[in-house]
Structure 1
């Protein structure tokens, strides 16, 4: 039993330490994702160690100390996404329909053909804006029924898992489809006009992940996220970013993105709101995100039921309330953070001027 507990402890230490290395390969970056699962393993391992180890020598104490250290480190990343933490985004104090904004973002899974399930959710929750990812021409043909109530659309049907569509009842000005880092991976940008006339700069993103079947390294994903973050940091206008970022909320890249952009995460202090993987309850994490500037407060955010995709749709409702939002504070970037973001973005032929 000592050898078995030692082997699991060694694995846990490696899984905890590997993401600290400045290596972008998917085999390393993949350990960013299951931090909650690693915390659960560490908790169970501590119980087993306390029950089976004799603690007659130094080795058992070293094992327990290493396991406890791993547990605390994993919790440091995950606990902010639980109700025990202070909320980063305030709950809206008053309803203002003219300044409200509701969004449903869904990675539909291109091969999924259950469009009726998504349309039923859209009908039930009636969001102002619908964003679909991995949507091809077939999905566009099914979703165009939304045009009767959401006449403002941006279409980018692709059959490579990176198609994107936007359907909005609110006008979208200056809309652009950009291929910031990779020639076949689009992003959508524009200015959303609220009923009050206030404008919101929106960025809808779906960068390619580091994986054995996609990019072997995380550089394209990281570069896209951080070049958008650097552009947002230059602008003091109301801003919202959403999409499947193919990164978890608690990774170093997403944390750096939040620091540099200055955007807020409404999940902090509320919950994980896991959106992937819809088919495996024990292996889930938040891949679909929504970040916004301090101009907004939160009405609601939650994942919606499965539509046959490997992602759950994510629904959020915000209110443009800059007076109340002025009291909100995210995490700040120092000079080292800004330099790191610039260096990562510079690894690809893209600049912040390429972003709207």
Structure 2
């Protein structure tokens, strides 16, 4: 029994320690994802060791201590996405329809054919902006019916799982579709005009994940997140970034994005809102995101019901409340973060100048 627990403890320790290394290999970066699952497995193993091992032996106490440290470390990463942590984004005080913006971010899964179920979801929730990922020409044809209510659109149908569409009730100007890092992975950029007249800079992203079937390293994904973060950090207008980032909310690279950009995560202190995988309750993590500048507070955040995709859609309603800027604090950026971000951008030969700045082209 002692040998069994030794082997399990060594394996769980390796799975905990390896992501600390800033290596970009897919199989190491993939360990950023299941921190909640690892936390629960470590917790169960620790309980079994305390129950079944002879704790009069120092060696067994060593096993317990190592697992206890692993448990604390995993908890440190996921705790901000529980109700035990203070919220990062304040709740809106007095919702003002002219200053609010409702967004649905949905990876529809290209082979999924339940367009009727998805359209029903959209009509029930009535977002102001709908962004779809993995939408190809077939999906575009199904979504055409929305254009009566959503007259402003950006379309990029692709059959490589990286098509993207944006539908908006609000005017969108200076719209651009760009391929920031990889030649077949688009991103979209626009300036949205709220009914109040306030202009919001928006970026819609879907970088490829590190995986044996996509990119063997996370460098492409990380570089795209970094250059967008650097670009929006210089913006004087409100900013929203949303999409399927193929990275979990608690990873070092997502934290780096938040530090460099200065954007806020409304999930913090409210829950994980795991959007993937819709079919397996025991393998879920937050892959679809919405980050925003300090100009906004939160009215509502919800993971919507399944519609046949492997992702759940994410619904977010923000309210422009500029006067509450000082009430909200995000992550602080340090010199080491800036150096790491610079290294990631250089590795892919990209820079923040590659990212469209739609507010710069106002007439």
What TM-score results when the alignment is normalised by the length of structure 2?
0.97
Written as runs of structure 1 = structure 2, the 5 A alignment for 1:167-316 is 167-316=167-316
In structure 1, runs of 5+ residues without a counterpart are none
* 1:51 pairs with 2:60: no
Aligned-residue offset at 1:56: 2.7
Aligned-residue offset at 1:97: 0.5
* 1:160 pairs with 2:167: no
Tell me what 1:7 maps to: 7
Tell me what 1:64 maps to: 64
Tell me what 1:100 maps to: 100
Cα distance between partner residues in 1 of 2:179 and 2:150 = 25
Query: Which SS does the other structure have where 2:327 is aligned?
Result: coil
Tell me what 1:151 maps to: 151
Contact in 2 for aligned 1:128/1:169 (Cα 8 Å): yes
Aligned-residue offset at 1:41: 0.6
Cα distance between partner residues in 2 of 1:236 and 1:8 = 51
Aligned-residue offset at 1:236: 2.6
Aligned-residue offset at 1:46: 1.1
Contact in 2 for aligned 1:90/1:325 (Cα 8 Å): no
More divergent stretch after superposition (321-330 vs 139-148): 321-330
Paired residues in the alignment total 356
Contact in 2 for aligned 1:297/1:325 (Cα 8 Å): no
More divergent stretch after superposition (16-25 vs 323-332): 323-332
Tell me what 2:41 maps to: 41
Deviations 1:39-76 (A, max 9, x none): 10111011100111002322101100010000000000
Aligned-residue offset at 1:334: 1.3
Aligned-residue offset at 1:4: 1.4
Contact in 2 for aligned 1:295/1:326 (Cα 8 Å): no
Cα distance between partner residues in 1 of 2:10 and 2:56 = 20
In structure 2, runs of 5+ residues without a counterpart are 357-363
Cα distance between partner residues in 2 of 1:167 and 1:211 = 30
Contact in 2 for aligned 1:25/1:218 (Cα 8 Å): yes
Aligned-residue offset at 1:332: 1.2
Cα distance between partner residues in 2 of 1:116 and 1:18 = 43
Cα distance between partner residues in 2 of 1:118 and 1:321 = 31
Deviations 1:314-334 (A, max 9, x none): 000000111023321101101
Contact in 2 for aligned 1:246/1:288 (Cα 8 Å): yes
Alignment RMSD: 0.7
List, as ranges, runs of 4+ consecutive aligned residues in structure 1 with deviation greater than 4 Å: none
What TM-score results when the alignment is normalised by the length of structure 1?
0.99
Cα distance between partner residues in 2 of 1:252 and 1:288 = 16
Query: Which SS does the other structure have where 2:127 is aligned?
Result: coil
Cα distance between partner residues in 2 of 1:120 and 1:52 = 53
Query: Which SS does the other structure have where 1:346 is aligned?
Result: helix
Cα distance between partner residues in 2 of 1:115 and 1:326 = 42
Tell me what 1:135 maps to: 135
Deviations 1:5-48 (A, max 9, x none): 11111111000000011210111001000000011011101110
Deviations 1:190-219 (A, max 9, x none): 101100110000000000000011000000
Deviations 1:227-249 (A, max 9, x none): 10011111132000000000000
Query: Which SS does the other structure have where 2:347 is aligned?
Result: coil
Cα distance between partner residues in 1 of 2:90 and 2:325 = 7
Deviations 1:244-265 (A, max 9, x none): 0000000000011100000000
Deviations 1:66-123 (A, max 9, x none): 1000000000000000111010000000010100000001000000010011101101
* 1:348 pairs with 2:348: yes
